[in-house]
A and B are shown apart, each in its own frame.
Chain A
Amino acid sequence: MSTVTRNGGNVRSLRVLRAGPVSIRISPRGLSVGGVLVLVLVAAMAIHVANGGTPLALLDVLRALLGDTSDSKVHLAVTEFRAPRMVAAVVAGACLAAAGAITQTVARNPLASPDVLGVTAGASLGAVTVLVLAGGGNAGLSGLTATMGMPLAAFGAGVLSGVAVYLLAYRGGIDSYRLVLVGLGINGFAVSLTTWLLTLGDVSSAAQALTWMMGSLNGKDWALVQPMGVIAAALLLAAVFCGRWLLLTSLGEDTAVGLGTRVGSVRLTALTIAVLLASVGTVVAGPLVFVALASPQIARILTGAVVPPVAISALVGAVFVLLADTVSANALSVALPVGVATAVVGAPYLIYLILRYQRRLT
């Protein structure tokens, strides 16, 4: 039925999968990297659940997930506490990484991740505002507001900062340098407002806010993870489809228009999806640093692709956060928030990236 053709005058860059009128461009390396990453992801998910507290045997975890209630304590721990935290890690990692892949491609700059563009800082500002001014996630609020108030505020503020960056950077088009500079400005603005807000609240809500700002997966339950997971899945699908057009914009605005791309609307759509993804990721896990910055570039290097592939980036991000959470929860006698682990890995990477980028410019 379908054939992997290696004709094309044996041009390696032109590998295609054809079946009847359908033809799909493929990269054998991308496919195998993707396959391996899916296996690694499943393994990381299993390890994460098995080690999310008292270590459990993988077989017990699997049995509990499949609905075996013979050991009710294990069943409860796995399905109600560990599984949602595991899903939260996957959602946060995949969303942030996919958002990073898009923003880095649109801005044609490996430094242009949503953390740099102010989206995650804006989302933190929203969350901290609710925590401090409304007296905390649980303290002063009740019912739906307590569980959904902070996530909604984080989501809204994240989207709002994304819109602000876009509008301020827009001058008849989106220039990548302007986008990064305006993003840094909005980022700084949101960070200082957040710091100021922390001084207003009482000690306990400030402490709570600081923990949230570190990026933590502690106590994430299905009430938050389930709706976010559904939204994330829809956004990730849209992001993967968007990737094909983004490839064209990476050739520069003039060439992309020449090839019949509506560059303006493609960029706007892509950035909208990226901002929504980054906001969802931040709502779930707080402003986890470096996931959005590093994962797309790791994915690009692994696949040898020209621009970071969205789906592979999402897989890398999910694995990254799962491993970071497993390590930070178990490595030391005190459980650390996952953001500490991503920062420890990410900071040297950021320095490396900046040094390399600078060398290329000089």
Chain B
Amino acid sequence: MSAPSTGGRLRADALTLGYDGPDIVRELSLSVPDAAITAVIGPNGCGKSTLLRGLGRLLAPRSGAVTLDGEPLAKLSTRHVATQLSVLPQTPAAPSGLTVADLVSRGRHPRQKWYQQFSVSDEAVVLDALAATDSLELADKPLEDLSGGQRQRAWISMTLAQETDILLLDEPTTYLDLAHQVEVLELVRRLNRDRGRTVVMVLHDISLAARYSDHMVAMKDGRIVAQGTPAEVVTPELLLEIFGLAAQVVQEPTAGRPHVIPLGAGV
């Protein structure tokens, strides 16, 4: 189950990222394991979302590089990259009135030409992407009429319609209740198990991250503090180090993954 930490198609080499101010991610190197689910965890502001944006070329490196099959992303055409890797931003926005099917069909854009706007195979892929997230019956509904979980499924469908081997998901469970969080994560797992997709996702909930990932990356202050299998990464020592949280780690009963019990100040 645990993936090797070398030889991945998508890699960061001494990557430094930032917005207007100081560096957010500092000289970070990472090899994303192929055909596995990688979860990035860490406290607020540790740079995990920024790292994901860098991996998805939404943010250009200040120094270092993100490479796909050995080529720096900056040197590849953004359209070509879009056929290999899809990104789901944290809180994506759509103009009001956009229907689910309309949104999902945008995922075909990297492979379309102006005279070939929606071929028979495009249609098949879009319907398949809708079916994969159980969104077919929502196809003609405007996004704003959906619940948070349904909307997130629609967005994931769009990234699926891109037919990329690599999926980057920035907090795909934000604003969702627990049932919907599990629903989205089960979908991510199916995509990985059934279709061999490489997934990198940023998650806040460490127990859910441990439960649904093969490889975990723990970050603090723009650097990777630890990475490995969930059992290797999720330990009381690490939680104390990166979150400053006193916690007990137990094995959850279904899959034997580590589960965090926060102790709080009173213990």
Contact = CB atoms under 8 A, between A and B. Distances in A.
B92 A254 contact: yes
A11 B140 contact: yes
A22 B116 contact: yes
B117 A16 contact: yes
Given A23-B119, A252-B92, A254-B53, A14 B126 contact: yes
Contacts of B105: 13-14, 25
B99 A258 contact: no
Contacts of A307: 95
B58 interface: yes
A7 to B, nearest CB: 7
A254 B89 contact: yes
Band of interface residues on B? 35 or more
Contacts of A25: 105, 117-118
A198 B186 CA distance: 69
A260 interface: yes
B146 interface: no
B82 interface: yes
Interface stretch (A74-82, A231-239, A243-251, A280-288): A243-251
A255 B126 CA distance: 17
Contacts of B87: 254-255, 257-258
B89 A252 contact: yes
B126 A252 contact: no
Band of interface residues on A? 35 or more
Nearest to B53: A254
A24 interface: yes
Interface in A15-62: 16, 18, 21-25
A25 to B, nearest CB: 5
A257 B74 CA distance: 13
B109 A248 contact: yes
A23 B106 CA distance: 15
Contacts of B93: 251-252
Interface string B117-152: 111101100110010000010011000000000000
A257 B57 contact: yes
Contacts of B99: 12-13
B82 A258 contact: yes
A260 to B, nearest CB: 3
Interface in B77-117: 77-83, 86-89, 92-103, 105-107, 109-110, 114-117
Nearest to B122: A23
Q: Is the interface of A mostly helix, strand, loop or mixed?
A: mixed
Contact of B139 (A9, A22, A23, A305): A9
B92 to A, nearest CB: 5
A12 B136 CA distance: 12
A58 B130 CA distance: 55
B123 A259 contact: no
Contacts of B107: 259
Contacts of A18: 119-120
B56 interface: yes
Contacts of B67: none
Contacts of A178: none
B83 A23 contact: no
A262 B127 contact: no
B95 A13 contact: no
A8 interface: yes
B162 interface: yes
A140 interface: no
A218 interface: no
Given A16-B118, A251-B92, A11 B78 contact: no
Contacts of A259: 82, 106-107, 109-110, 162
B106 A13 contact: no
Contacts of A12: 99, 101, 139-140
Nearest to A16: B118
Contacts of B120: 18, 23
A306 interface: yes
A8 B58 contact: no
A220 B87 CA distance: 53
Nearest to A108: B95
B78 A251 contact: no
Contacts of B97: 304-306
A253 B89 CA distance: 10
A192 B86 CA distance: 49
Given A13-B140, A258-B159, A306-B97, 12 more contacts: A13-B105, A14-B101, A16-B118, A21-B115, A23-B117, A23-B122, A24-B115, A247-B106, A251-B92, A251-B94, A254-B58, A258-B56
Interface of A: 7-9, 11-14, 16, 18, 21-25, 108, 241, 244, 247-248, 250-255, 257-262, 304-307
28 contacts: A8-B127, A14-B139, A23-B116, A23-B118, A23-B120, A24-B115, A244-B114, A248-B106, A250-B94, A251-B103, A252-B89, A252-B92, A252-B93, A252-B94, A254-B89, A257-B56, A258-B56, A258-B58, A258-B88, A259-B110, A260-B109, A261-B78, A261-B109, A262-B78, A306-B96, A306-B97, A306-B98, A306-B102
Q: Which 10 A-B pairs have the closest CB atoms?
A: A260-B82, A260-B79, A254-B89, A258-B87, A260-B110, A13-B101, A13-B99, A11-B139, A25-B117, A16-B118
